[in-house]
Structure 1
Amino acid sequence: MRSDPALARLSLNQRTTAEWTLREAIDGTLAAGLSSIGLWREPVADVGLEVAAKWIAESGLRVSSLCRGGFFTVSEPAARAAAHADNLTAIDEAATLGARTLVLVPGGLPPGDTDLAGARARAAEAIAELVPHARSRGVTLGIEPMHPIFAADRGVVSTLRQALDIAEDFDPSDVGVVVDTYHLWWEPSVEDQIARAGDRIVSYQVCDWITPLPADTLLGRGMMGDGHIDFPTFTSAVAAAGYTGDIEVEIFNADIWATPGDEVLARMSQRYLELIAPFL
């Protein structure tokens, strides 16, 4: 199916249709008139990297990002070496798939550790160690700051300000930041930080913050327009910063996962046209 020009920058992040296989996600993305997809390493591994790369190339889809690398806040030497090796592999996978950006989720506190600043410093050190290989493969590392409710177990980098403090030690072509509405909508002066980010924004991911939060807070993301985020203002700030890349819809939500994928894509496309596209 031919892509819809009105949806030219809209990308399906695979987690939004988590029940779909990679093949189904590619076919569903094409059927919805989209031209871009955000891939996850696990579904790629299910079919094998070579097969996944072949399917993507044949589809003509852009790969807006690959999720995910990171989880390198461990302190034990063997664990740090294992995390580094896995991230080198993730960089290679991104290059093979044609993804310009590898999304990095820094990781949380190791068991029994309460040194948040120390864990954040280890994340910065781990990123620095990855830069030479990422540069050689033409992949930009995208640091994804995460909402503070995930600081203990997933992301010790909680604000865009903190992510930029790390990224600015490197060339923008090597290390950038991921702007995700779900994680950053609450941050004080976030519009100023988006402006500061400028050409370091390597991915703009959107979904809504819904309440009440589910028991598993990881699944508390909603479709744009179903929650509390001011998408016009947020998107205008990202556009003013100069971002011209794809906009990924990334939703972790059990009810959405249980909905037929074609219905999810139809709804997300409509919400994109209403809440995102007019402000780009």
Structure 2
Amino acid sequence: MNNQATMQRFSLNQITTEQWGLAEAIEGSVRQEVAWMSVWRHKLHEYGLKEAKRHLSDAGLSLSSLCRGGMFSAGTKEERVRRIEDNKRAIVEAAELGTDVLVLVCGPGATNDLNEARSHVEEGIEAIVPYAKDHGLKLGIEPLHPMYAADRSVINTLEQANDLAEKIGKDHVGVVVDAFHVWWDPYLEKQIQRATGNILGFHVSDWKVPIVDMFKGRSLMGDGVIELKKMRKRVEAAGYKGPIEVEIMNQLLWDMNGNEALAQVIDRYHSYV
């Protein structure tokens, strides 16, 4: 892809510029001719739904996704119901903002029983599918690296995500391929092919050795070991031609001036994605 085509697909996942509020991220994206953004709910709630919708529209920015729903597992039925209700609110927010994808970070277990936790995830997604359907939205299951199983998600491989999507119903449930989380998987190519026509997002960053912070351990593309161009081509061969989100949690990047951070991200994107 040439640089022009690349920028037409570039999406700033807002967590990459965590130092910015949503209004700043929108204005910063406009300055650097970014066409797409993925909004995080904590930033959305700080700014306000109506304000964000108006500002995004005025700026001409399109939304690749809203992040995040999920976190379904809990120790009590009452808490699981509350989390389902929060996911319904996320669906309303996503539809109002104009994106058709809600990313699901499915959540860790409430106990050490992983099978129980995965059952809670399945039940939670099943519960919100009719609501997503009513709002014209698709739910993107994002598997997270196994090292996140204890505190972020018990869905840890693309195979698990494909299994869930196929079981619950591919009309309204798909998968999100995040390079940081799935690059290591020996069955990745097979599972990307299996997800043909049902990939709802592609996220990029890099895996720098050593990982020094589990949550903020992602690095700029080109600083690590992931073959991002090869993965992009596989995702495209499976039918995904949509926006490519750069999603980097990294304190060094967050400590930079936001404009400089975004410029560096765009430069690495051109070179390594």
Matches within 5 A, 1:242-257: 242-257=239-254
Q: Which residue of 1 aligns with 2:27?
A: 27
Normalising by structure 1, what TM-score?
0.94
- 2:261 is aligned with what amino acid? V
Q: Kindly, what percent of the aligned residue pairs are identical? A: 44
Query: Which one of the candidate residues 187, 194, 197 is aligned to 2:185?
Result: 187
1:262 CA displacement:
1.5
Q: Deviations over 1:15-66 (max 9, x none)?
A: 0000101111001111111100010011110111111111111111110010
Query: How far apart, CA to CA, are the structure 2 residues paired with 1:42 and 1:73?
Result: 20
Q: Which residue of 1 aligns with 2:237?
A: 240
Query: How far apart, CA to CA, are the structure 2 residues paired with 1:225 and 1:246?
Result: 20
Query: How far apart, CA to CA, are the structure 1 residues paired with 2:208 and 2:8?
Result: 27
Gaps of 5+ in 2: none
Matches within 5 A, 1:92-111: 92-110=92-110
Q: Which residue of 2 aligns with 1:90?
A: 90
**Partner SS for 2:215:** helix
**Partner SS for 1:251:** coil
**Mapped pair 1:118 → 2:99:** no
Q: Which residue of 1 aligns with 2:172?
A: 174
Q: Which residue of 2 aligns with 1:263?
A: 260
Query: How far apart, CA to CA, are the structure 1 residues paired with 2:101 and 2:199?
Result: 10
Contact 1:65-1:100 within 8 A present in 2 as well:
yes
Contact 1:172-1:199 within 8 A present in 2 as well:
no
Contact 2:109-2:116 within 8 A present in 1 as well:
no
Matches within 5 A, 1:82-231: 82-110=82-110, 113-214=111-212, 216-231=213-228
1:274 CA displacement:
1.8
1:69 CA displacement:
0.5
Q: Which residue of 2 aligns with 1:46?
A: 46
Contact 1:145-1:178 within 8 A present in 2 as well:
yes
Q: Deviations over 1:230-263 (max 9, x none)?
A: 1121111111111011000000000010111222
Q: Which residue of 1 aligns with 2:77?
A: 77
Gaps of 5+ in 1: none
- 1:14 is aligned with what amino acid? Q
1:268 CA displacement:
1.7
Q: Give me the CA root mean square deviation.
A: 1.3
- 2:188 is aligned with what amino acid? V
**Partner SS for 1:45:** helix
Q: Size of the alignment, in residue pairs?
A: 271
Query: How far apart, CA to CA, are the structure 1 residues paired with 2:6 and 2:135?
Result: 32
Query: How far apart, CA to CA, are the structure 1 residues paired with 2:163 and 2:176?
Result: 13
1:170 CA displacement:
3.8
Query: How far apart, CA to CA, are the structure 2 residues paired with 1:228 and 1:18?
Result: 24
Contact 1:9-1:36 within 8 A present in 2 as well:
yes
Normalising by structure 2, what TM-score?
0.96
1:192 CA displacement:
0.9
- 2:198 is aligned with what amino acid? R
1:5 CA displacement:
5.1
1:183 CA displacement:
0.3
Query: How far apart, CA to CA, are the structure 2 residues paired with 1:211 and 1:275?
Result: 17
Q: Which residue of 2 aligns with 1:272?
A: 269
Measured at CA, do residues 32 and 55 of structure 1 come closer, stay the same or move farther in structure 2, by a change above 3 Å? same
**Mapped pair 1:60 → 2:57:** no
